[in-house]
A and B are shown apart, each in its own frame.
Chain A
Amino acid sequence: MALQASESAVVAAADTDASAPRRDKLRFLRNGKTLVGLSILGFFVLLAIFGDALAPYDPSARGPNIMASPSWDHPFGTTQTGQDIFSQILVGTRGVLVVGFVAAVLATVLGVLIGVTAGYLGGFGDDALSSLSNIFLVIPGLPLIIIITSFLPETNDLTIAAVIGLTSWAWGARVLRAQTLSLRNRDYVQAARATGESTWRIIVFELLPNLTPVIATGFIGTVIFAVLSNITLAFIGIADISEWNWGTVLFWAQNNQALAQDAWWWFVPAGLCIALLGTSLALINYGIDEFINPRLRNEKADRSVTMRVGFTPVLRDQPGVPAGVAQAGSPARVPAPAPPPGSAPQGTIRKDDQA
């Protein structure tokens, strides 16, 4: 779903100035949403790296405590064979992230190659490549992935990542094609062409830097999709169930009637982890969306003043608003009706006013 939310933003942004991000490349890191998203993602990346070492038990080892609810020994409880679910989640993080990122890298590379080439070439090449991406776009992805994976004689994390990557590049290609088309006619690209720069130089040095935010949203959207697909494959038992990931945990929970036995701890932690990871990725994407399309930015304005299109607020009756600023050089200060924390106390401002 997050895919679709970000597409609308990207499409909207295609109309606005795509070269704007050049000005301040790191600005989006200061966005609160991006920061929260990156922190959660960072946490999961750490788990993926150190999960094996951190896990208190061997995730596959049976134990004496069967179907135990969460306790100090087993923070997420145990399975009906006494396996520690906390360890399963910790160890399973790596598989989830590896498949997500490998698939997304593959899909992004394909998407950039196909989308940018189509947009830059135009003509017959464009027609052929766009038809190809449109076909892959309308064929439902998850069923296709399920079919291909179940036909494979052997599945492991990498083959699954490959299948997901090879089937989910079309969305990125489509958006990139549209962006490339609009960039191709910009002055600086035309100028580079006129001076006889080679096509590849133009694509790599003039186009790609401007496509970075679009590529980034596409990449993260694909990670979300790949993570969900991978977990789904594990959940329905197509993926190799001997490799731990959050979907495998859910697979065993479902197959052992965890629901009917009220063993909520067996499936709740894995689901929450998926949702948390998905949320963090979506937040990063919102940050990038707001970076590309400033209209989406929610100014942290004073909530007591309603800003709405077509009805400019008039604050002249509010206390503390200077009737006129005498000195042009002095920074204009209009304290909001309720002063934000950390601003000058209202008394001082009043005094300035009456002066």
Chain B
Amino acid sequence: MSDSLIPRLKQIIITTLNLEGMTPEEIDENAPLIGSGLALDSIDALELVVKLEKEFGIKISSSEESRAALASITSLASFIRERADPSKLSA
């Protein structure tokens, strides 16, 4: 389960944010998602959060949670594993 979540998150990010020409392998799972790294802006973050909440049945409800969750893909995966319905993790 844990092995497949990170590639799945990378694919969600690429699809949701229309990162055309980018492959999952090109995304560093330890790089910051916002600002540097993938350099997502606030609208990207909003769109991503909406998609993740729907996909995994989770709720990111404050900026503190978002800072922790969106620090990197690795931390996002940990956040989701802690809160998501297990059936949604295996989708």
Do A and B assemble together? no
